[in-house]
């Protein structure tokens, strides 16, 4: 994916970061923001990764933070290691681990996985950031509280077994899923289905929509490259422009005569029944979506 070279807004765009284990997604955002100050103060991310997890984190810089929801909605790909024969109250290696005394096999795992494919219901884990009674569940969990958590509809399009170690009772799997899927809860549910228990021993996000982990830079590389810039308006290495970052979304190119109307939030006639990015000379002006009460397009996000 090409890097952003536009002069008008060199510090608006998307950074692909390979999040290391041991830090939160908020920690990554804080470090990027600190590296970019005082030129840029608005930095966010699109999709949280647990502290123990690694992999692709989309970091939004400048005005691109307005576009977070479009990245959050993209499907995800994870590579995880499932440890069988144990249970964890958090579904991962950071929880309280209890041996189940039960083993499983590759044949049993392969037979169980199809029931977790397609559109399924999944209970939100206590360690999630979902709010119940106005408070995030993980805060309740930290106090030792246990409450009835919501059930969400998710979609899992694939669970591929990459390897299975019968001696260690572990398996590495590739999971393709919709937003809102908790791989930790998936491990718990698979373990229960097998009667052996399971938790996530390692978890890495390999992709978010068209964005791949192999195209990401480490957090340290990002900080070093930002610190090495000679001028504040110099392009950030690895920064992808808003227009290019939204390439998964259909585009409409507006004319010079339409630019002023678009920047004022005017509705446009016609258009598809889904969000589109409006471009002028390659620059993203806005994201428009269908009008609810009739034909045409209305502004969803203005840049």
CATH number at residue 277: 2.30.130.10
Catalytic residue among 18, 50, 92, 189: 50
User: Tokens standing for 199?
Assistant: 């938790």
Cβ burial of 33 (10 Å; 0-12, 13-18, 19+) is middle
* Residue 86 and residue 202 in one domain: yes
The residues, any chain, with a CB within 8 Å of residue 24's CB and separated by 6 or more, are 48, 51
Cβ burial of 152 (10 Å; 0-12, 13-18, 19+) is middle
The residues, any chain, with a CB within 8 Å of residue 177's CB and separated by 6 or more, are 75, 76, 77, 78, 154, 155, 156, 157, 183
The domain boundary residue, chosen from 223, 242, 261: 242
* Residue 102 and residue 222 in one domain: no
Of 184, 190, 227, 166, give the one whose Cα is nearest residue 78. Answer: 184
Regarding beta strands 13-19 and 217-218, do their DSSP bridges make them parallel or antiparallel, or are they unpaired? parallel
pLDDT at 143: 76
SS3 136: strand
Q: Does the annotation mark 18 as catalytic?
A: no
Domain count along the chain: 3
266 located within any domain = yes
C-alpha 194/C-alpha 104 separation (Å) is 7
Task: Read off the pLDDT of residues 101-160 as tens digits, 9 standing for 90 and up.
Answer: 999 999 999 999 999 999 999 988 777 777 777 777 777 767 777 777 888 999 999 999
91 located within any domain = yes
Task: Read off the pLDDT of residues 55-111 as tens digits, 9 standing for 90 and up.
Answer: 999 999 999 999 999 999 999 999 999 999 999 988 999 999 999 999 999 999 999
Domain that holds residue 124: 76-207
256 located within any domain = yes
């Amino acid at each position: 994916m090409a890097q952003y070279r536009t002069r008008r807004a060199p510090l608006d765009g998307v950074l692909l970061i390979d999040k290391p284990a041991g830090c939160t997604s908020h920690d990554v955002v804080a470090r990027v923001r600190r590296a970019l100050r005082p030129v840029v103060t608005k930095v966010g991310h699109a999709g949280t990764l647990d502290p123990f997890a690694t992999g692709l984190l989309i970091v939004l810089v400048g005005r691109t933070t307005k576009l977070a929801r479009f990245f959050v909605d993209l499907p995800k790909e994870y590579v995880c290691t499932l440890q069988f024969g144990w249970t964890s109250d958090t579904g991962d290696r950071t929880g309280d681990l209890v041996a189940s005394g039960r083993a499983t096999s590759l044949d049993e795992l392969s037979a169980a996985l199809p029931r977790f494919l397609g559109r399924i219901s999944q209970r939100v884990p206590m360690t999630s950031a979902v709010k119940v009674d106005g408070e995030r569940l993980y805060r309740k969990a930290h106090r030792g509280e246990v409450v009835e958590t919501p059930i969400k509809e998710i979609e899992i399009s694939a669970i591929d077994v990459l390897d299975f170690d019968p001696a260690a009772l572990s398996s590495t799997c590739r999971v393709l899923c919709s937003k809102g899927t908790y791989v930790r809860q998936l491990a718990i549910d698979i373990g229960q289905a097998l009667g052996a228990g399971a938790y996530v021993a390692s978890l890495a996000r390999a992709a978010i929509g068209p964005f791949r982990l192999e195209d990401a830079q480490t957090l340290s590389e990002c900080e070093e490259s930002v610190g090495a810039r000679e001028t504040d308006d110099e392009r950030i290495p690895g920064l992808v422009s808003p227009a290019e970052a939204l390439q998964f979304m259909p585009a409409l190119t507006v004319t010079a005569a339409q630019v002023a109307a678009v920047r004022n939030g005017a509705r446009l006639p016609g258009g598809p029944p889904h969000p589109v990015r409006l471009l002028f000379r390659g620059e993203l002006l806005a994201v428009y979506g269908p009008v609810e009460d009739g034909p045409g397009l209305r502004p969803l996000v203005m840049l």
